[in-house]
Structure 1
Amino acid sequence: MWLKFGVDEDGTLVSISDVTKGKTSLKCPYCDCKLTAKKGKIKEHHFAHAVETCRPISTGNFPVLPLYDNFNIHLSGKDLKQLKLLWQEYGSKNYFISPDLVSSGLIRAGLLQKNVLTFPPAYEFTNLGKIPVGALSLMLFNEVQEPLLLKNLLKLELAVEHAKHKNAPDLGYRLTDLKLYCAQLKRVLSCTLYFLEIQTNKGILYKIGVTQRPIRKRVAEVEMDLGAHYQSVDIKVLGTWEHRGNVELYFKHRYQDFNHKIGSLTEYYKFNTENAKNVLNDLHQMKPKVLDQNEMDILEEPTTARQK
């Protein structure tokens, strides 16, 4: 796990996505050490300490949104490989899986479940198990992820209350954990997911993305980006979904085989007519996001670090 937020001089949490690489004036939300933005092409973008890393960061024991940018369910390499083989040979064909092919790790992780109606009993993929192989629809993905997002929020809030009650020495860490989690959650809730169809002189492209600004401004930027690669660009907005910033990275995971890189631009896709129809249907099947009171409170709160 990597540190994705630093604190500016006003106490505001700033995402790694909003800074350029190199030394920054930001500080670690846990220990106040100066941070450097690491934004290379191999490792995930993150903040690193300018000097010795503090304990919370060295252990990687700080909160991240479940199933947001990691869809391997923290499986070992061996279990992940087995899961993908089982999907290819059985799950994708709706075949049941013999118990002697199933490892205990996949069962404990909740990725496979026994179907007691078969004789002899056999196993099948759960919705959670379909996520690492990108087989779960966007609608069902939300149904799996959203309860986990709120469950983790509740756990962090309870940890803070417990630390306060006990006057625990790690109260500051607990408060920072909660603030970092809320900042991440606020970021995805404040975003609108969009899907574009782009007619160029070389054919049709599609783009997925998120924005916190009016979609027309984002479309204008996309048109400018593509102008360097195509003689003509005509963009049509096929759909927008408020508060669905959580879906963008899973979409990229689910449809990675159709990804079409254009220079340094990576969020574009090439679908044939039938595939494009299926993708749009996948998106439109998502239920409108209805914010609960906790989520509304998070959106209204300033994104600040813990008070000293």
Structure 2
Amino acid sequence: MFLTHGMNESGELVSVADVKSGHTNLHCPFCSEKLIARKGAIKEHHFAHAGETCMESKSTIQQTGLPFYDIATGIGKSDIKLLDKFQRYDNVWLSQKQAETAMYLTQGGLLEPSPNKPEKYQLTRLGRDLVKHHDSLLQKKIILPEATLQEQLFPARLAMLQYHDEMNGTQAARFYQLRLQALLNQHLYVLKIHLQQGSTCFPLIKVGITSRSELALRISEIKRDLQQHGEVLSIEIAGLYRHFGSLERLIHKRFRASQFVIGSHTEYFHAIETAHDLSLLNLEALGKRTVEGAYCRTTYREHAHKVRVGQRKAKLLNNTHLGRPAKNAENLLTDHPDIVEAFHASLSLRKANTKTGKAINTVRKVYAALKESGNT
């Protein structure tokens, strides 16, 4: 990991993505040394000290990695191993260092004292979910489980760092909150791009993040960058997911095999190879994330599914139908004469759907009502 944020004169963290390469007016959050933005073609874009790098920034950067953004496994690998150990065995011997780690994990809500043996630990639900995710051999296509787990780990990691600061007199939690706040104010976007290089046109997908609420200016910057490597035929917005910038690296990891490197830019991918996987990610199911400082809350996630579950429960418990009133056969036939006509013309469900423009389920219901009434 690198120092990816510097402090401006107002005490706000500024991402390296929002400054030009070279000397900046930003300072190190720890030693106030001037910072230089390094935005080369090989290493991750980051800030470097104009003078000697301070030790505090090095140690704090290692401590304050963001779950599933800086730390691919969510938390440290040694922490994961300890959680796995508690899950596998009832009696776990702990070294002094492991005992300290167990205390941190308890503060973060990943471990809890065993109800039968208070001196022993057991995994919480969050701890079990994290171990299960880490042990999974099958790469899940949908992004939602990782997004949910990441949101739960954000405050868990903060609680662990606050405990660390209390024990050691450090300020890691403050820097973590600032970095997290900056990341939560980044919006995830997906662009479809056609880039002409010589006689070949490359359809591309770009997955990136921006702090701008609108993409027009960002698209113009992208177009300017790409014009150095070919002719930009088109740029189309495929999706904008506000405050979900924390998922960028997870998606990049999924698409790594299809990466299309353009100069120093590594966030482009072959569209043909990634189109199917992109649809499987189901980014539309992420819902709406609202941010307040370093805290986020998500609503409308899997909203339709929850509504259907509630309706089924109400029908089962109270014999009550919730939702739009169910239509009887007579009303269906009266309300959809065009579908009735398609039925008598012996059109298939799909052809009737195309001709009338009505939903396929509506066509199916009308056809079923006609068959029940004896119409042929």
Is the alpha carbon distance of 1:191 and 1:22 closer, same or farther for their aligned partners in structure 2, counting shifts above 3 Å? Answer: closer
CA shift, 1:209, in A, is: 1.2
Question: What's 2:142 paired with?
Answer: 137
Q: Is the 8 A contact 2:242 2:289 kept in 1?
A: no
Q: What's the CA shift string for 1:231-259, capped at 9, x where partnerless?
A: 45122222221110011111111110111
CA shift, 1:27, in A, is: 3.0
Q: What's the CA shift string for 1:101-159, capped at 9, x where partnerless?
A: xxxx9864649x87xxxxxxxxxx9323459x965631111122111112122334556
Question: What's 1:18 paired with?
Answer: 18
Unpaired stretches in structure 2, ≥5 consecutive residues: 89-130, 297-376
Alignment partners' CA distance in 2, 1:221 and 1:28? 27
Q: What's the CA shift string for 1:255-303, capped at 9, x where partnerless?
A: 1011112233322111327x41331231435421433xxx413489xxx
| 2:226 is equivalent to residue 221 of structure 1 | no
Q: Which amino acid aligns with 2:65?
A: V
Q: Is the 8 A contact 2:192 2:203 kept in 1?
A: yes
CA shift, 1:65, in A, is: 0.8
5 Å-filtered alignment, 1:246-261, equals 246-261=246-261
Alignment partners' CA distance in 2, 1:3 and 1:264? 19
Alignment partners' CA distance in 2, 1:241 and 1:299? 17
Q: Is the 8 A contact 2:208 2:267 kept in 1?
A: yes
Q: Which amino acid aligns with 1:191?
A: Q
Q: Is the 8 A contact 1:223 1:233 kept in 2?
A: no
For residue 126 of structure 1, give the secondary structure of its aligned residue in structure 2.
helix
Alignment partners' CA distance in 1, 2:204 and 2:70? 24
Q: Is the 8 A contact 2:191 2:207 kept in 1?
A: yes
For residue 30 of structure 1, give the secondary structure of its aligned residue in structure 2.
coil
For residue 278 of structure 1, give the secondary structure of its aligned residue in structure 2.
helix
Q: Which amino acid aligns with 1:68?
A: Y
| 2:172 is equivalent to residue 190 of structure 1 | no
Is the alpha carbon distance of 1:31 and 1:197 closer, same or farther for their aligned partners in structure 2, counting shifts above 3 Å? Answer: closer
Question: What's 1:67 paired with?
Answer: 68
CA shift, 1:52, in A, is: 4.8
Alignment partners' CA distance in 2, 1:222 and 1:42? 19
Q: Is the 8 A contact 1:190 1:299 kept in 2?
A: no
Q: What's the CA shift string for 1:165-187, capped at 9, x where partnerless?
A: xxx8x3xx32xx23321222122
Q: What's the CA shift string for 1:64-106, capped at 9, x where partnerless?
A: 2122033256559xxxxxxxxxxxxxxxxxxxxxxxxxxxx98
| Sequence identity percentage | 31
Greater fraction of residues in helix: 2
For residue 10 of structure 2, give the secondary structure of its aligned residue in structure 1.
coil
Q: Is the 8 A contact 1:128 1:144 kept in 2?
A: no
| 2:23 is equivalent to residue 28 of structure 1 | no
Q: Is the 8 A contact 2:192 2:235 kept in 1?
A: yes
Alignment partners' CA distance in 2, 1:137 and 1:110? 24
Alignment partners' CA distance in 2, 1:17 and 1:231? 24
State the TM-score, normalized to the length of structure 2: 0.55
For residue 276 of structure 2, give the secondary structure of its aligned residue in structure 1.
helix
Q: Which of 291, 296, 307 is matched with 2:292 structurally? A: 296
Q: Which fold has the larger relative contact order, with Cα–Cα distance below 8 Å and residues 6 or more apart in sequence?
A: 1
Q: What's the CA shift string for 1:186-217, capped at 9, x where partnerless?
A: 22221221112223451422111112220232
Alignment partners' CA distance in 2, 1:189 and 1:180? 14
Is the alpha carbon distance of 1:106 and 1:25 closer, same or farther for their aligned partners in structure 2, counting shifts above 3 Å? Answer: closer
Alignment partners' CA distance in 2, 1:241 and 1:24? 30
Q: Which amino acid aligns with 1:204?
A: P
Q: Which amino acid aligns with 1:138?
A: I
Alignment partners' CA distance in 2, 1:195 and 1:38? 25
Q: Is the 8 A contact 2:27 2:33 kept in 1?
A: yes
Question: What's 1:287 paired with?
Answer: 286
Query: Runs of 4 or more off by more than 6 Å in structure 1?
Result: none
How many residues align? The count is 247
5 Å-filtered alignment, 1:198-277, equals 198-201=193-196, 202-213=201-212, 214-231=214-231, 233-272=233-272, 275-277=274-276
Q: Is the 8 A contact 1:226 1:233 kept in 2?
A: no
Is the alpha carbon distance of 1:200 and 1:54 closer, same or farther for their aligned partners in structure 2, counting shifts above 3 Å? Answer: closer
CA shift, 1:26, in A, is: 3.4
Alignment partners' CA distance in 1, 2:247 and 2:77? 21
Alignment partners' CA distance in 2, 1:46 and 1:240? 25
Q: CA RMSD in A?
A: 3.7
Question: What's 1:127 paired with?
Answer: 133
Question: What's 1:146 paired with?
Answer: 151
Question: What's 1:179 paired with?
Answer: 174
